[in-house]
Structure 1
């Protein structure tokens, strides 16, 4: 007698929940913000005020502008993606996170405008007369970058780190890292502001690394693991159902 080989149907992959999609979107946006790392080298020529009257192509600087625009939009994306989740912990702080991210993006775009003005003046071939303009643009870009990507990311780390630490949506080691990195980044910006060291220096680099580790680690965790579902449901208040209607019995009295 022939036997029939009955195999169970292949297991279907569980659909991705909205919360998992939110975590994935936020994680991708955080990792996208690291495309700006090459701008450290791409923007090296504009740190020299003589760049505006010097020879050479502008392609590298323009690529740096494109990467910075991606970073600005990704920064807003992180806050918008996380807002529906973290607002359950503290609505005001969640709004502050969105506002700070938008402000950070605005300063990045301001820096982009300055850089492109730099390139435009250079391509116009103004010669030695443009040297003063170049020095002014170089200084303006330096301070815009320092304030926009030195102080404001520290504020972001404090706000988001506090929200994640209280809610325990992710392992607490991640927000603790952000809360440690924030004052270090602010210290580096203040020291540069008062002339203790240059914006691009060993001291500045060492104090900036922790904020990068915090954002990179958070992005990877959100992509790989997502939020802790038990913590999500714990933050949602229980819904009270209305009492069931009383059904009359055969005797005419309510049951």
Structure 2
């Protein structure tokens, strides 16, 4: 197993999650006619085109998220089968929430189409349906990137990278810190202390975002460290294989 090559693939997939997730979020907000701090459906400002492009990018996010877990698992399980499997599960759950949001936003396309020419009670009902779909997306976003990502990409992945030393331990510590802060921010949002997208939530998201971006860049550039104890165990186990 070429750990450097595997690490580079892992890194590019992680960068892929940034390339897809941020534009998808912006397109969904624009498509619903909403704002960063108030996710709701505003028919007059809604855009089916933005929603469709956002859905395409969100699907790309799901693919890259699952890709990071599948690429890392064969290596990470040699460090801890339980933590490695937990990371795959967390990535899968995060992708499930992304899929819920994707379907909600695509359903909003049908609402926008039906709003054309609608009036009276029909228009009110469609507005309520649109708001419901927008709020469903927002809840999925808060539970996926807001909570599950903190657990999976922050705590679980940070722990795996710290104990395996596949990346510099000081870098991995950022994941443990960022994940903990992101989970705290989610609990604050759930308790109604502030809304997602407001000042405090953005600041508390930065450590986790810095960890994920720096991890992706480091691994895409250098791959996993061949000097790590885990890499040494992998080489020894492969040397014992026949042939």
What TM-score, normalized by structure 1, do the two folds share?
0.81
What SS class does the counterpart of residue 80 from structure 1 fall into? helix
Structure 2 counterparts to residues 224-235 of structure 1, below 5 A: 224-231=221-228, 232-235=230-233
Please, which runs of 5 or more residues in structure 1 have no aligned partner?
1-16, 242-255
Tell me which residue corresponds to 1:41: 26
How far apart, CA to CA, are the structure 2 residues paired with 1:55 and 1:68? 21
CA contact (8 A) 1:121 1:130 kept: yes
Q: CA RMSD in A?
A: 2.0
Q: Which has the higher contact order (CA 8 A, sep 6+)?
A: 2
Structure 2 counterpart of 1:132, from 128, 147, 150: 128
Residue 72 (str. 1) matches residue 62 (str. 2): yes
Deviations 1:59-107 (A, max 9, x none): 2222222111111111111111111111111011101111110111111
In structure 2, the CA distance between the partners of 1:130 and 1:218, relative to structure 1 (3 Å rule), is: same
How far apart, CA to CA, are the structure 2 residues paired with 1:50 and 1:30? 31
In structure 2, the CA distance between the partners of 1:121 and 1:91, relative to structure 1 (3 Å rule), is: same
- Per-residue deviation at 1:54? 2.4
How far apart, CA to CA, are the structure 1 residues paired with 2:199 and 2:7? 34
In structure 2, the CA distance between the partners of 1:112 and 1:56, relative to structure 1 (3 Å rule), is: closer
In structure 2, the CA distance between the partners of 1:233 and 1:18, relative to structure 1 (3 Å rule), is: closer
What SS class does the counterpart of residue 79 from structure 2 fall into? coil
Tell me which residue corresponds to 1:199: 196
In structure 2, the CA distance between the partners of 1:236 and 1:29, relative to structure 1 (3 Å rule), is: closer
In structure 2, the CA distance between the partners of 1:49 and 1:169, relative to structure 1 (3 Å rule), is: closer
Tell me which residue corresponds to 2:102: 112
The structure that has the greater radius of gyration is: 1
Deviations 1:167-217 (A, max 9, x none): 111101111000000011111111111111111111111111111111111
Please, which runs of 5 or more residues in structure 2 have no aligned partner?
none
Residue 188 (str. 1) matches residue 178 (str. 2): no
- Per-residue deviation at 1:238? 5.0
- Per-residue deviation at 1:148? 1.3
Structure 2 counterparts to residues 55-94 of structure 1, below 5 A: 57-94=47-84
CA contact (8 A) 1:75 1:101 kept: yes
Segment drifting more, 41-50 vs 226-235? 41-50
Deviations 1:23-76 (A, max 9, x none): 11100100001122123432224245442x325532222222211111111111
What SS class does the counterpart of residue 155 from structure 1 fall into? helix
Give the number of aligned pairs.
224
What TM-score, normalized by structure 2, do the two folds share?
0.85
